Amino acid sequence: MKVKELSEKLARKEIASVEITESYFKKIEKLNPKLNCYLTLCKESALKTAKESDERRSKGKTLGPLDGIPIALKDIFITEGVKTTCASKILENYNPPYEGTTAAAFKKAGAVLLGKLNMDEFAMGSSNEFSAFGPVKNPWNLDCIPGGSSGGSAAAVAADLCVAATGTDTGGSIRQPAALCNIVGLKPTYGRVTRYGLIAFASSLDQAGPMTKDVTDAALMMNVMAGFDPMDSTSLNVPVPDYTASLTKPINGLKLGIPKEYFIDGIDSEVKQAIEIAAKKYETLGAKVETISLPHTKYAVPAYYIIAPAEASANLARYDGVRFGLRTPKPEDLLDLYEKSRTFGFGPEVTLRIVLGTYVLSTGYYDAYYLKAQKVRTLIKKDFLEALQKVDAILTPTAPTPAFKIGEKTDDPLKMYLSDIFTIPVNLAGLPALSLPCGFSKAGLPIGMQLIGKHLGEEKLFQIGFAYEQATEWHKRRPAL
């Protein structure tokens, strides 16, 4: 079910929120053992919220399009009184004493929280294999990864184990799993959606966004998520449009740029072909497609793997066994307490990033690595800003390949890191980008395309995405489970 569809059914009183919520839990009980997307279920509170929504509606009142709609949050979103683990052993029993802004916004909109979704530990990963609580399976092929780090969200939406979900994206974690599971995912402009109540990974890159079954639903979710938050110092204090308002505007005469640097060696031929066909489709819809250049693209992944670990090493210093989460039972002294709690609490990928990040920030290496990476970041941003003066949006593949097999890349971090080669530059530049379904491989795995827009240009991306969606059928395909 989609947000819009269900919201209309609820309005016509064809179905009650309690009834639909119960049916989602039934489906979750059946399929979650196969997919492992949910880490925590909130059955009792969900049914209570659903009942309140139904009662409100019976009195002729509603809180808007999300009222009574069953959704789920990635387990990186802080939820008061609901376990929030970030898929890490170090937070295995963490019950936040406060509500994050996004969770509060969904509550206020009347949405029903079904549960919290699996992910890579601390959002570090591209395959969901780095969760401390087991991998998520791709609903299109259970031997394949769903993408990451928001793999639980992507799989849950694709398999319809929730109506819509949230994710976070530091280097591609909304868009890449969305592409690999045949759903829509938006990484908003940096600052558009609050980070207050997100467990921090790399604070200058982290951004929360919607993961949904189509563009309309993403717009409806953004209407709840976007906006100024005084609790986040990087939140933008600018008005929020109604994101559904411009969906149906024609795209006649709009210009799309295809960066020549994105068709690298290593890109899957079926992915390349799907993007070429999508570009042709846009031309038949009246858009102009031209080749553009983003010359510093090849430096994006290396720069990201200095900046993101550097920020992560600082952000994760707080998990010291004293203030948060896991504490080793019998420490010999304070140093031993830190060491054992962290060694036991963090998985191998998180440990690797902390070591890397600490190294690039250390005296003597700071200038050579961190400072240089920041300069590269500026060049990458400049590339985009120049290109976006000539075109309305940039069209690229979201990921270089369709979903790969579980275990295929776990021993080779570089191969894994390259999964985000097309998404990482966007985070470095702070721009918004939308991923949407645009084809299938011969093996039956989804392929996604990415539309990159100007700062605060989410509306335009929705408009361009919606036009394509109306003209194609890809987004309608659902996995047979």
Task: Write down the catalytic residue from 74, 116, 187, 460.
Answer: 74
Residue 3, strand partner residues: none
Tokens of 234: 């990087």
Among 420, 458, 459, 469, binds ligand GLN (CB under 6 A): 420
Could you tell me the smallest distance in angstroms from the CB atom of residue 54 to ligand GLN?
36
Residues 282-311 that bind ligand GLN (CB under 6 A): 308
Contact segment (CB under 6 A) with ligand GLN among 121-129, 188-196, 209-217, 431-439 equals: 121-129
Comparing CB distances to ligand GLN, the nearer of 199 and 292 is: 199
Clarify whether 173 is annotated catalytic. Answer: yes
Contact segment (CB under 6 A) with ligand GLN among 26-34, 47-55, 165-173, 294-302 equals: 165-173
**By CB under 6 A, is residue 171 in contact with ligand GLN?**
yes
The H or E element containing residue 309 is: helix 300-315
Strands 164-169, 207-212: pairing is antiparallel
Measured CA distances, 395 to 143, 221, 381, 391 (Å) = 30, 23, 16, 10
Among 149, 189, 194, 315, binds ligand GLN (CB under 6 A): 149
Identity at 389, one-letter amino acid code: Q
Cα–Cα distance, 193 to 25 (Å, whole number) = 29
Measured CA distances, 241 to 17, 210, 238 (Å) = 28, 16, 10
Task: Write down the catalytic residue from 53, 127, 149, 341.
Answer: 149
DSSP 368: I
Distance of CA 142 to the CA centre of its chain: 21
**By CB under 6 A, is residue 124 in contact with ligand GLN?**
yes
Clarify whether 149 is annotated catalytic. Answer: yes
**By CB under 6 A, is residue 173 in contact with ligand GLN?**
yes
Among 126, 153, 223, 313, binds ligand GLN (CB under 6 A): 126
Q: What share of the chain is helix, strand, coil (3-state, %, to 5)?
A: 45, 15, 40
Comparing CB distances to ligand GLN, the nearer of 341 and 419 is: 419
Could you tell me the smallest distance in angstroms from the CB atom of residue 2 to ligand GLN?
25
Interface with ligand GLN (CB under 6 A), residue total 13
Could you tell me the smallest distance in angstroms from the CB atom of residue 379 to ligand GLN?
20
Residue 443's CB is within 10 A of a number of other CB atoms, namely: 11
Among 54, 121, 169, 383, binds ligand GLN (CB under 6 A): 169
Comparing CB distances to ligand GLN, the nearer of 153 and 223 is: 153
Q: How would DSSP label each residue in 33-55?
A: HHH--EEEE-HHHHHHHHHHHHH
Q: Please, what is the end-to-end C-alpha distance for the chain in angstroms? A: 15
Which residues would be at the binding site for ligand GLN (CB under 6 A)?
123-126, 149, 169-173, 201, 308, 420
Q: Which residues are catalytic?
A: 74, 149, 173
